[in-house]
Chains A and B, each alone.
Chain A
């Protein structure tokens, strides 16, 4: 459930704002950004001038009433196009505001620094006074005043304010889950937090500003499409202007109103009016999926992704591996093994480490150990443990422990080696425990694959996306899980640079790669990937490196992001096709109307049997105007993506929007013509 309201497309206060904004957007400076609508703007101005001329006595341009009606329809066309953009922006703003509301002034319990020592003297200051580097504390019930990193303690935090996720999350110092977000609420325990950003400049603040459209720039594809539309507009400028001498040759007088109507109907106003709304709506849909995108380009790129790098844990398998069994090496006493297993897992605060203690059910503090030193797990050594007195306990991956024991001149026991193989081939992860370079036994960790995940990979495959599972597991385990889950490839025993190398390799072959990550060591890969989604719970470095942030910390979110990107491009393509296909019917409405007085034979082209030249032109212009607001919902929601293969998708969209684009205006213009005829 998202806290961000799933508001209706047209909520009344949004509509009101948007209408106001539509008028403000009439300023020529703003209109100029959109070449198609700018020409309509110029045309409207010319028509106003024509109306004034008629009012002052010019005779050959038709009635004042008719010209004024046309002028106002053109004006409304402009407003409709502006409204489309404004409503998309307003929806974005509404969501940004609801995000920002959570970040209003909150009291902060600032720890006063004094020299190098921190005194526990606490001063309550407004959150706006917090500076980067300040340290504050938060206790149960407090709202966290600013973004920061936990430097001490652990707490459960309710992040529903920004993620909409009601289940509280645990944040603790050290590791990749140490960052907290301003506006979220501490539910239990007490944490000490160091401020990492200046007020108003936090990462989310910057991104919200982007979503609001304040700094929205046209994306490369949008620019290319604008060029296409501008090109069509130029063609129709040529067609309309040259028509004057051609008509003169046929002794057909054509009014300025008719010329401008023909022009406005032919240029792709439908897509021209909706183009920026589609772009804004793309980012907005991402936001609705609780993904904040740094730029519209990132969303566009997401639609092109060829390779998806997914972490095994949390994405493909449920949560974390759990210790399920242990197997002793021959001649090892069970109690020795248990002690070594528990002690080596003591400082291991990974869920796997905790699950070992859970499985064995002994409290490590009950054992005696002096002068101890914990050996942290590192991706290089791929083992962790504890040294005390003369005892060295190590627990880790099979090959690293094997190397350790063999280096010390010991033999790796055969039966344990067999067990390791068995566990791996069943998709489990073996953790070998050794004391003083002698193997004691092996612990089995097992993964549980998420329900429905292989269907999602199937869908991705049909979209043409290759999925790659990234895991620290050994190749055997990785292969087992990869096959079971249905991913296309895997990186086993992945070190941070492996991810990076994989991305580079795919990119050098021309593919676009997306990945999700949270840790600081993911940051380089996130930056290297074409689409890098950082989890909001991740470190600041990760969030800075990626181009999207997922507020839900949901690793499967990448799939949704890809679909949003595809929808964005498809909406542009289909509406362009629709807009241009519309011209066929408009020609059949307007061309006979232009020439009917001097070339009666051309009435045969009036296949819609429109009532009169005036009603035909009016109907076409009215249809041209009202199709814009009618398509706003489609522009905002996006055209549905179906993974049925590119050619089938093209056929489908061509049928709906191409053929539909030809037929719909014939019906629409005829109906409007009937209506106009009844009115007069």
Chain B
């Protein structure tokens, strides 16, 4: 078999194998069970609680959780705005990079608190090291918030009536200190060993083989790259993200980065099984997500390895579609990465998504439109939870019982929230794209800098940008001239809404369900940990995504593919 394929299969298998013990570890952390690393982390956590004057034992209801989460985000957001708009004059700026304009800073700050990491700037020239460090902090905070919120929902799924669902600070601090921090350090060390820079010195000058003197940007990159993947953030230290040779030096780091970004979303599924003592439920969720992931990844890999038929017709021999791809990774690994980074809301790229085949672009967008095949840290499960609620409602009716999920009745209130969250994604993507299309159609000459390509592909560039923002993914189709007030503000609003509403919604549903009476299972109860139910969820996901986005997709990648 082709070594490229073997590389992809191995990197997937390694994640799955690592995910189980990692899930167990995460489950223990959130179930207050002892782990071998407590001696290290207990003092650290205590210090944090003491410094912050936090009572980590105070139980909170779902509303209090949300208030605390939003407050934390707001405080850091203000701080980030201050740094980003003034960093030109602040410390740690050896390259003398300028401060950001207000709209770019707004976009960037939102982008990083929203775990999106859409970047309308380039790391080498657009931000100081201090700015990078603040953004790196956000990569921890946003991932930690996502995990903590998801744990709150899992807590609410337990078999009892509960009005409080743990303490947010406790869950948040533990996510950061016991999961994100140690594993980030480990990954960063591996990256440094493979050549990623980790320094606070400014640009270096090297002399190339052609005897030219070239300025090379560097900085505290290894640490940044580690959490960017582990926290499913995706924001690159350098503009070219993980296709940059210092950000992703070789095939090993490429595999390491894929594994790192998939690890927590997959492990979290098994953590759910551990925390609820419902292994079958975890396997069901894992099955549905994996089938969805593979159905997007396999055709994309196949598509990219086959290359471009138009080039084929010209009689040119190609090793897959290599336009916009790094030779050191090849077509298969780049295609696999492109789906991994889009189904999981990382959004880091190791190749130019704009240059993929139309159908590959379609699959990348579908991954973000569904946004629940693994998904981001914590939030992937929160999105999936909404699909579970919808599925339980429809299939519960189909077996002749008023719908219930894990013994709690799903009623009008829960449906209202679930539908609201479901609506949000098409609303943001489609209205965003509609506004952009309208603006472009009205002023095609003034706005010609927006789009790199005409027609269907240009349309895909806009659709991709809003899909990526709304999925909190952060990858770009690129080719889009996006550092303009319109794109900064529009995608900023989309990211903000698409981050917090889909977090608040599931937590509100979970809070409401947790306080309801628990109904024990009977033979008439629809079991949610079966293949049948998994199939039903899968169908609901596909139908909801297809019905919402089919017309838009048919004007972009589908039309482009059929016109080839």
Interface on A for B, CB 8 Å cutoff?
Answer: 220-221, 223-225, 227-228, 230-232, 234-236, 238-239, 241-250, 262, 266, 300-301, 303-304, 306, 461-466, 509-512, 565-567, 569-570, 572-574, 576-577, 580-581, 583-584, 587, 591, 594-595, 599, 601-602, 604-605, 641, 645-647, 649-651, 653-654, 657-658
Contacts and interface: CB of A to CB of B under 8 A. Distances in A.
A299 to B, nearest CB: 11
B168 interface: no
Contact of A246 (B402, B524, B552): B552
Contact of B533 (A244, A509, A647): A647
Interface in B535-559: 535-536, 539, 543, 546-548, 550-552, 554-555, 558-559
**Max count, chain B CB within 10 A of own CB: residue among A463, A573, A587:** A573
B548 A228 contact: no
Contact of A576 (B397, B402, B526, B558): B397
A304 B402 contact: yes
B186 interface: no
B437 A245 contact: yes
Given A306-B522, A647-B532, A599 B550 contact: no
Contact of B563 (A238, A242, A583, A599): A599
B390 interface: yes
A231 B396 contact: no
B431 interface: yes
A583 B547 contact: yes
Given A570-B398, A573-B397, A228 B390 contact: yes
B183 interface: no
Interface stretch (B32-40, B292-300, B513-521): B513-521
9 contacts: A224-B414, A232-B547, A243-B552, A464-B524, A510-B407, A569-B402, A647-B527, A650-B398, A654-B398
Contacts of B555: 246-247, 249-250, 595, 599
Contacts of B524: 306, 463-465, 646
Closest 10 CB pairs of A and B: A464-B524, A573-B397, A231-B419, A566-B400, A464-B522, A464-B523, A573-B398, A601-B562, A242-B434, A249-B437
A371 B552 CA distance: 96
Contacts of B527: 646-647
Interface of B: 390, 393-403, 407, 410-412, 414-416, 419-420, 422-423, 426-427, 430-431, 433-435, 437-438, 440-441, 455-456, 459, 517-520, 522-527, 530, 532-533, 535-536, 539, 543, 546-548, 550-552, 554-555, 558-559, 562-563
**Max count, chain A CB within 10 A of own CB: residue among B398, B438, B552, B555:** B398
Contact of B437 (A248, A300, A583): A248
Contacts of B526: 646-647, 650
B415 A239 contact: no
B395 A650 contact: yes
A456 to B, nearest CB: 15
B393 A228 contact: yes
B522 A231 contact: no
A601 B395 contact: no
A220 B455 CA distance: 49
A462 B523 contact: yes
A512 B401 CA distance: 12
A599 B551 contact: no
A566 B551 contact: no
A595 B456 CA distance: 13
A577 B543 CA distance: 11
Contact of A573 (B394, B431, B441, B520): B394
Contacts of A510: 407, 517-520
A246 B433 contact: yes
A245 to B, nearest CB: 4
Given A246-B434, A602-B562, A650-B533, A577 B412 contact: no
A605 B562 CA distance: 9
A601 to B, nearest CB: 4
Contacts of B416: 227
A266 B551 CA distance: 12
A512 to B, nearest CB: 8
A227 B532 contact: no
B394 A577 contact: yes
Contacts of B435: 245
Contact of B400 (A249, A567, A602, A654): A567
B547 A249 contact: no
A548 to B, nearest CB: 17
B522 A466 contact: yes
**Max count, chain A CB within 10 A of own CB: residue among B390, B419, B423, B530:** B419
Contacts of B547: 232, 235-236, 239, 266, 580, 583, 587
Nearest to A226: B412
Contacts of B434: 241-242, 244-246
A303 B399 CA distance: 10
Contacts of B518: 510
Contacts of A466: 522
Contacts of A650: 395, 398-399, 526, 532-533, 536
B107 to A, nearest CB: 23
Given A569-B402, A573-B398, A602-B554, A238 B412 contact: no
A232 B396 CA distance: 18
A224 B393 contact: yes
Given A238-B426, A601-B563, A646-B527, 8 more contacts: A227-B419, A245-B437, A246-B434, A246-B551, A569-B401, A573-B400, A645-B523, A649-B399
A513 to B, nearest CB: 12
B309 to A, nearest CB: 15
Nearest to B417: A227
Contacts of B393: 224-225, 228
Contact of B543 (A227, A238, A247, A580): A580
Contacts of B426: 235, 238-239
A570 B430 CA distance: 34
B161 to A, nearest CB: 9
Contacts of A238: 423, 426-427, 430-431, 548
Nearest to A570: B400
B551 A591 contact: yes
Given A239-B430, A591-B550, A300 B422 contact: no
Contact of B422 (A231, A248, A303, A462): A231
Nearest to B564: A601
B548 to A, nearest CB: 6
A576 B394 contact: yes
Nearest to A568: B400
A464 B402 contact: no
A641 B400 contact: yes
Contacts of B397: 221, 225, 569-570, 572-574, 576
Nearest to B553: A591
A242 B433 contact: yes
B422 A235 contact: yes
Nearest to A229: B419
A587 B550 contact: yes
B468 to A, nearest CB: 17
B383 to A, nearest CB: 16
A353 B551 CA distance: 78
A463 B524 CA distance: 5
B440 to A, nearest CB: 6
Contacts of A262: 551
A625 to B, nearest CB: 20
B264 to A, nearest CB: 31
Nearest to A605: B554
B459 A235 contact: no
Nearest to A642: B400
A569 B562 contact: no
Nearest to B438: A245
Contacts of B548: 235, 238-239
Contacts of A565: 400
Nearest to B516: A510
A303 B525 CA distance: 11
A602 B517 contact: no
Contacts of B519: 306, 510-512
